[in-house]
Chain A
Amino acid sequence: MINKMVLQNLLHRPVRTAVSVLAVAIEVGMVMLVVGLSTGMLHESAKRVEGVGADILVQPPGASMFFGLTQSPMPIKIADRLAEIPRVAAVAPVLFQFNSSGGGLGLIYGIDLNSFNRVSGGFVYHAGGGFEQPYDIVVDDWYAKANHVKVGQTLRFLNHDFRVSGIVEHGKGARLFIPLDTAQDLTVAQGRASIFFVKLTNAGYTDDAKAAISKLLPGYQVLPMREYMSMMTSNNLPALQVFITVLISVAVTIGFLVIFLSMYTTITERTREIGILKSLGASKAYIIEAILREATLLATMGIVAGLLGTLAAKRLIIASFPTQAVDLTPDWAIYSAILALAGTLIGAFYPALRAARLDPVDALGYE
């Protein structure tokens, strides 16, 4: 019976119900998308680095796990010494270049095509081929799709025009690749590299190889790929964690305030009805329960709408920005639902308490 009353109340005020459901849906969607976009970006970036196929990453002392933040590249001759270490099958030096053209921010890999192919197993070309001249560039298929790039087209990066020589399958480090020599010339870093991707004859030798490299290059960052992958989470990025927490807090606060206002208004509007229930002998607990059930139903509808909306938003984002990864996980679907439900119940509790405390005579006389 109480559920029928709750349902009828929601149906009786469709605009209020729709606005409340929308607020909870936006709350859920915002939480899911903020987390999905940030973790998606991190995971996608990490997966691309993993896709290079190296077992160990070697960077200069003090280097960041975020490529490109290191300002002092290493002598490229180190690659020859690394190659002499037992179980090392191939070493690919890469010089990173920040690219901020086209409205995006990403890395361009300056690569030596031969050594990079030995580590990565080689690019899969969708069109065109490797570098033929110093100012050639290879782009991945996602970048090409997002920017409508064709082989032979000229793209302007780093204040230079590059001819697109090939379009490759995505997933091998960067989305844009230029010759290593060109990258070195552009940054006046001749003979230097930002990182060495080290491929072993067998990944099982990683610990031994890591020890040998650390001995050869004391103080350098020697990172097995599995460690790098485990580090690429938002938990290891305090600033990102703060950003996510702030946005989630804003979303939950918005949901809480809308539900609070909605329930507060409806309680005022239904003062007389609450008086009627009290005249029938409804206890304070009964009235609180009825209002919290109503809020719970609103939250449930909002959560379902929010989750469906998030899936739709993900499709829209990927269709509009093919290079953008959105990582939606069941865990965060549950967390966002719990947050929305908790916010809703907290938002509804004070209005419910206020309703329960209404004087029945005053409530019955309410116009």
Chain B
Amino acid sequence: MEPIIVTQDLKKVYRLGKVDVPALRGVDLVVQEGEFLAVVGPSGCGKSTLLHILGGLTSPTSGHVLVDGNDFMTMNDGDRTRFRRHKIGFVFQRFNLLPTLTARQNIAIAQHIQGNGFNPHRFDAVVEMLGIQGKLNHKPFAMSGGEQQRVAIARAVICEPKILLADEPTGNLDTENSQIVLNMLRALNRSFRQTILMITHNPEAAAVADRIVRMRDGRVVSD
């Protein structure tokens, strides 16, 4: 079976004023469909940049990136947006729920943006699995961090993305809620063969994954 993510000599250079700052210096990575991968490494090692490139939020400078058969080097901003809409789900450290919308609306807006309309069966299944039935009419400020992150996960998986990209999903949570969120990611991976790529500083969180990739100075140093 073809891997769902393949990167070869992936480089990303940011330009800050007149200075080039390399964030990725040649990343080679292969991820199989249904795999739960943790990427660990110190701050500034390029983990987030890798996640942003794989999610189509930013373009690579050079190298090759193939995600679910899509060659990012040939895609423009609009192509990457469409790709992200249909193939990627994001979970962020800061939850990133829309503050003016309820939990239900935060989840539903992902379906609306995808354009396939509201799917009540999928919605109910996801909401039940994440145990947020009682919070659907609450706005983010009225929910705990753990509840907000579960809503964020629900929003990320409601459209059945090919890949779930999680950026420090337990970074803002206490131990108990961290464990709940990790268990849910694990359950999603096992129950639905959801491919997950998770960035984390936390070794306990990384241990939940099938495979751990370590990065340093913009490169993968162990796999």
Query: Interface residues, chain A, CB within 8 Å of chain B?
Result: 1-2, 4-5, 8-9, 11-12, 272-273, 275-284, 286, 359-361, 364
Contact = CB atoms under 8 A, between A and B. Distances in A.
Interface in B83-101: 84-86, 88, 90, 92, 96-101
A364 B96 contact: yes
B154 interface: no
A281 B84 contact: yes
B169 interface: no
Chain B facing A: main interface SS: helix
Interface string B96-128: 111111000100111011100000000000000
Interface stretch (B30-38, B51-59, B194-202, B211-219): B51-59
Interface in B22-81: 52, 55, 57-58, 78, 81
Contact of A5 (B81, B85, B97, B109): B109
B138 interface: no
B86 A281 contact: yes
A359 B58 CA distance: 8
A12 B99 contact: yes
B11 interface: no
Given A1-B109, A280-B113, A280-B155, 9 more contacts: A1-B105, A1-B112, A8-B101, A279-B90, A279-B96, A280-B84, A283-B81, A283-B82, A284-B78
B122 to A, nearest CB: 16
Nearest to B96: A276
Contacts of A281: 81-82, 84-86, 88, 113-114
10 contacts: A4-B105, A5-B98, A12-B99, A277-B109, A280-B110, A281-B84, A282-B113, A286-B113, A361-B58, A364-B96
Contacts of A276: 96-98
A360 B58 contact: yes
Contacts of A9: 100
A272 B96 CA distance: 8
B172 to A, nearest CB: 14
Nearest to A10: B100
Interface string B169-201: 000000000000000000000000000000000
Q: Chain A interface mostly helix, strand, loop or mixed?
A: helix
B55 A279 contact: yes
A217 to B, nearest CB: 76
A276 B55 CA distance: 13
A319 B85 CA distance: 60
Contacts of A278: 57, 81
Contacts of B90: 279-280
A283 B81 CA distance: 6
A243 to B, nearest CB: 44
A282 B80 CA distance: 11
Contact of B98 (A273, A284, A360): A273
Nearest to B57: A360
Nearest to A275: B96
B139 to A, nearest CB: 9
Nearest to A362: B58
A233 to B, nearest CB: 49
A8 B109 CA distance: 13
A359 B96 CA distance: 16
